[in-house]
Amino acid sequence: MPYVSPDIPADLDLSLLATAAPAGMDKSAARQASEAMATQLANLQELLYANRQHSLLVILQGLDTSGKDSSIKQVFREVNPMGLDIHSFKAPTTTELAQDFLWRSHHRVPSRGLIGIFNRSHYESAVTDRVMGFCDRATQMERCLSIREFERHLVANGTLVCKFFLHISRETQKERLLVRLQDPQKHWKLSLADLESRKHFDVYMNDWSRVITATHQSVAPWHVVQADQKWYRDFVMLSVLIEKLKGLNMGWPALTQPVTAGDITD
């Protein structure tokens, strides 16, 4: 069941896009395919590390409860943890605010051979800052232009960039927030900030539509993932990541110096 990523239209409106898995999608078959792809991703990461010519930067964005944390846990479950460099971006520190908005992201770009994962990213400065009133629309668009050039620079220097927007419905977000409220083991995941952000759900959808359109480019494309069902989210993400890494046509590096069995002493 191959996955084909849809194009991002110039007039993208996230509110009009489906958030649930396609009708007729076989859940059992998708999960089975994901199991195989999780192993394949682990093998490709090992090849990536062995060659040390490229890195892969995975950018995860989405509204609260969209599944950024759980997607990392599930999609990369078979990958050697030593091959991953994961960073969650919180509110900027005083030091970070004293720099340009891309500074803290550039510091976390993965080294060659690694898969880097940004749980939230520099895109917060283009969306959340605008929604919360820390910048205006003109500044938002200026930041989008800077992001485009930043990501083009990364790709030109050997870092593949793969961006996912985990797209959930307002109803799904409410259900997941209620689960966090009702389960004492998930209380730590619930904050008043989540509830405040929910009040701006439609505004966020509008701004994300605008920013995704402005920063989608062939060298660093966006993938809007229908994320109401976690099993479908994982299937899509694994499909995209494997296609991205297979495009490098990597092989196992040969010995750098001639060695024979006789060179290995008893």
pLDDT single digits (tens) 176-228: 999 999 999 999 999 888 888 999 999 999 999 999 999 999 999 999 999 99
Is the predicted pLDDT of residue 66 greater than 80, yes or no?
yes
The closest alpha carbon to 8, from 224, 162, 220, belongs to: 224
> Any residues with CB less than 8 A from the CB of 169 and at least 6 apart, and which?
19, 20, 228
Distance CA 56, CA 126 (A): 22
Question: Checking DSSP bridges between strand 222-226 and strand 84-88, what pairing results, if any?
Answer: unpaired
Domain layout of the chain by residue ranges: 27-249
Instruction: Give the residue-averaged pLDDT of 214-243.
Output: 97
Distance CA 123, CA 83 (A): 24
- Report whether 242 contacts 28 (CB < 8 A): no
Cβ-defined contacts of 76-83 (< 8 Å, 24+): 76/38, 76/41, 76/115, 76/117, 77/38, 78/38, 78/39, 78/41, 78/42, 79/41, 79/42, 79/45, 79/115, 80/42, 80/45, 80/46, 80/49, 83/45, 83/46, 83/48, 83/49, 83/113, 83/114, 83/115
**Residue 33 binned pLDDT confidence (cut-offs 50, 70, 90):** very high
Distance CA 3, CA 26 (A): 13
- Give the model confidence (pLDDT) of 137-190 as tens digits: 999 999 999 999 999 999 999 999 999 999 999 999 999 999 999 999 999 999
Distance CA 13, CA 17 (A): 7
Structure tokens, 191: 């904050």
CATH architecture of 27-249: 3-Layer(aba) Sandwich (3.40)
- Give the model confidence (pLDDT) of 6-19 as tens digits: 678 888 999 999 99
CA 9 to chain centroid, in Å, comes to: 20
What's the sign of the alpha-carbon dihedral 137, 138, 141, 147? negative
Is the predicted pLDDT of residue 100 greater than 90, yes or no?
yes
- Give the model confidence (pLDDT) of 51-62 as tens digits: 999 999 999 999
Distance CA 240, CA 16 (A): 23
Structure tokens, 138: 């003109």
pTM of the model: 0.95
**Residue 2 binned pLDDT confidence (cut-offs 50, 70, 90):** low
Distance CA 239, CA 226 (A): 14
pLDDT of residue 3: 67
Is the predicted pLDDT of residue 98 greater than 80, yes or no?
yes
Mean pLDDT of the chain: 95
**Residue 4 binned pLDDT confidence (cut-offs 50, 70, 90):** low
Instruction: Give the residue-averaged pLDDT of 226-246.
Output: 98
pLDDT of residue 265: 85
What percentage of the chain carries pLDDT values higher than 70?
98
Q: Choose between 103 and 10: higher pLDDT.
A: 103
Is the predicted pLDDT of residue 125 greater than 70, yes or no?
yes
Task: Describe the chain by its helix, strand, coil percentages, rounded to 5.
Answer: 50, 15, 35
